[in-house]
Every structure is written in C-alpha cells, then in structure tokens.
Copies of this chain bind each other. A is one copy, B any other.
Amino acid sequence: MTAHPIRSRVVALMQALQSEICDALESIEAKQGSTARFGRDSWSRPGGGGGLSRVIADGAFLERGGVNVSEVHGELDPAFAGSLPGSGPQFFATGVSLVLHPQNPHVPTVHANFRHIQRGPVAWFGGGADLTPYYYDADDRDRFRQVWKNVCERHHGIADYEAYAAHCDRYFYLPHRQERRGVGGIFFDNLEIGADREHAERVFAFVKDAGQAFLSSYLPIVERHLDTPWTAEQKAWQELRRGRYVEFNLLYDRGTVFGLRTNGRTESILMSLPPTVRWSYCFEPQAGSREAELLEVLRTPVGSSAT
C-alpha cells in the first residue's frame, strides 16, 4: 500500500493540534493558579505504530482531560474490515482525539476527534466535535454550533454542516435512556480524499481548519463559566450525568468498543471516562429546576422546535 502523498502533512497536523490544544488548556490552568500539566506517555502498538497520550488530572479547570495522538498501521481485523471503505487488509490510521472533563459543573464536557484512514487505494477523513453540558445554556450551544457551521461554510462543496450536525445528534444518543448525550456539534465520516489532487487538498484544508477551530469553539464557553461557583448538589448532578457519558462510551461508542476488543491501549482509550461518577436509582430532578431543564432538552427529539 503506497502512502497517500498527503499523509506526512496529516501526521504533522495531528501532532501540531495536540501540542497547540494542550498548551492552550495548560495556560488556563496556569491562570487559575494550578500547577496541573499534561503528561506525555509514548506507547507502541504490537501490530505496528503507536501514539502519544497526554493526560491531565486534578487541575483547577480540568478534573481530568486527555488529548491522544496515534499513528498506527498493519493488517485489519477481518471482522472489522467489512465495515470500512477501501479494500485489502493493509491500513494506516492517524488522528487526534480528546475528551475534557472540567471540575466545574457549569463548564460543559467536550469531545473532539479528527482522523485520517487509508485502506488499500482509498483514503478518507472523519471526525467532529460535540458538547455535553450539565446545565443548559442556549448561548453556549448556539455559539458552539456556529463555529462549526462557519468552518463548514468556509469549505463549501466539501463540508455539509446540516448533514454533519444531524449525524452528530443521531450518533450521540442513548436509546435505553431516550436521551441525547449532549447538545450537538458536528460528526463526519468517510470523507474521501479521492483521486484528484486538487480535491484532496480541499478536503485536507477543511479538516485542518476544523482541527484548528476546536479551541475557538470551546474556550469562550469555558471562560464564561469557569468562575461560576457551584454547590455540592450541582457537583453530584454533574457526576450523575457523567454516568450517562460512561454508559454511552462503553455501550455504544464505536471507537471505544472497537479499540477495547482489538487490543488497543486500554488506558488511552478509557481516558475518555470521567474521573468521578455517580449512579442513583430512578433519580429525577425537581420539576422546573435547571437540572430538569437540561433533561428536557436532551429528551426532546431532534428536529422539533426545542432543539
């Protein structure tokens, strides 16, 4: 399998995004007077390739956060190969993946991922970003979505915001709770580079722009809420909602389940799980509360006026 000519620039992009994002998050910790910083764990994959996991814990801002880069290659598991574009067993994949769990329940959790995969002659991109608040704030949701809409519109003919936003809502959904995980964002997959060189450049430019837009989608939301005081009850509510995050990731998330079942690096895959979590039997927040407001939003089917 010959490497697509764009590969080396994609690998460099993923590494640059990891550094840039970790630096920006660390500077927030520093401003808050915290000494928490991202560690660096290099790992190699028995089948080929490896990665660099960067994890932060017990910060003033981030209770736990992970920003992972991997660059792996080898032969696909036949059981999984059937679900992928391209042909043949040889594959290459690189990407950056992050999940940030703030201390403050007023600051939403965020997840983003940008990946490039090549299988035989076919190469494509996938990725996205989605926001999971513990208290609903329509401005946060609108601003977050607007960043991703603007990115997509800058790449007209390549990216389709409406389709990506709808895909995000469909994907981050817990059928057993009849709840969405969060308030949306974008999710795209199988965005093929194609044979045409100019088209490949345009696809790459979109993914690069999206990756570089992540901080501008999230940091303004952090700044708005980082200094809002919180109560023990609000913290418990955050931990309860984090339980839904765990349920989604372990029951439904394709990347998590696939990674764990194919001998991926467990600690890098599960860095997405929250630091402290709570389950409480049949808990329902008081009617009219801000907790109930969030549930109402997450339980309203996508496409209706309330979403």
Find A281's partner among B66, B243, B263 (CB 8 Å cutoff): B66
Interface string of A256-268 (1 = CB under 8 A from B): 0100110100110
Listed residue (A57, A66, A251) with the most chain B CB atoms within 10 angstroms of its CB: A251
A41 near B: Cβ within 8 Å? Answer: yes
Q: CB of A247 within 8 A of chain B?
A: yes
What residue of chain B has the Cβ atom nearest to residue A176's Cβ? Answer: B260
Q: Is the interface of A mostly helix, strand, loop or mixed?
A: mixed
A: contact size bracket: 20 to 34
Q: Which residues of B contact A274 (CB under 8 A)?
A: 279
User: Are B277 and A279 touching (Cβ within 8 A)?
Assistant: yes
A277 contacts B280, CB within 8 Å? no
> Complex Cα distance A5/B62, Å?
60
A246-294 residues at the B interface, CB under 8 angstroms: 246-247, 250-251, 257, 260-261, 263, 266-267, 270-271, 273-282
Residues of A that sit less than 8 Å from B by CB: 41, 55, 57, 64, 66, 175-177, 239, 243, 246-247, 250-251, 257, 260-261, 263, 266-267, 270-271, 273-282
A-B contact pairs, 9 of them (CB 8 A): A55-B281, A175-B261, A176-B260, A176-B263, A250-B251, A251-B257, A267-B282, A270-B279, A273-B279
